[in-house]
Amino acid sequence: MFADAIDISYLNLHKNAVLTKYLKQDNNFTITDPVLSLIAPNNSIMEKSDAVLASVIVKTPQGHGSGFAITQDGYIITNYHVISGRLNNKLSTVKIITSSGEELEGKIVRYNKYRDLALIKVDKTFEKAFKVNNVKSFKSLQDVYTIGAPKSIELGQSISSGMISNERKNNNNNLLQLGMSVNAGNSGGPLFDNAGTLHGVIVSKLVGQNTEGVSFAIPGYMISDYLNIGYN
């Protein structure tokens, strides 16, 4: 009860007009990298059972997260916070573990720190890949899934299911609110439906006393804009 009261008071403080008058928030989160043209997958994920073929673990010296292939020639999406180093503005070395257990060297191609997205390249041909669409296709109360490595690398390719609650917008940021149980290692994993359509990237969850099953994803239709990438 006391923890909830503190959380609510903190949120109310950030809405207080006296405070917000002095807070300066930067809401220009665009990156300056030129448009990167990628090869669209000719064998994309078409059903949820195939999603494991494009899902990976992203391992760094600091820990691990999840990710997924968006091209068959080795381009992978994850969160920026998964690949960021302990020191400010210094990136980690990255290794990618595929669903078959193969471990590959990953190269960070680009990232958007403020949108919490990163693009990694590995020397591998994926059998299938998720296709990034620029069109919003999800619906509220839609059943969705994610694949990741919650807490431990040994739990890689674990599946969580839930629903899309709504899309939230704040300070020029869009997030999908989910009714889904996720953990730290799920960060960067794909959010997809029964047909294998990509709807988002798992990014965070609410924590606190008496808070369970409230998580968030970066909308999939914003990935191209946030990273300045597209299919040729």
Catalytic site positions: 81, 116, 187
To which residue do tokens 């008071």 refer? Answer: 9
Q: Which residue from 208, 204, 212, 182 is spatially nearest to 5, judged by alpha carbons?
A: 208
- Helix (H) or strand (E) run with residue 186 in it: none
To which residue do tokens 């002095």 refer? Answer: 22
Cα–Cα distance, 56 to 204 (Å, whole number): 18
Burial (Cβ within 10 Å: 0-12, 13-18, ≥19) of residue 7: middle
The answer to whether the beta carbons of residues 94 and 58 sit under 8 Å apart is yes
Token pair belonging to 87: 């020191």
Sign of the torsion angle spanned by Cα atoms 197, 70, 134, 169: positive
Strands 214-219, 198-205: pairing is antiparallel
Cα–Cα distance, 188 to 201 (Å, whole number): 6
The answer to whether the beta carbons of residues 83 and 111 sit under 8 Å apart is yes
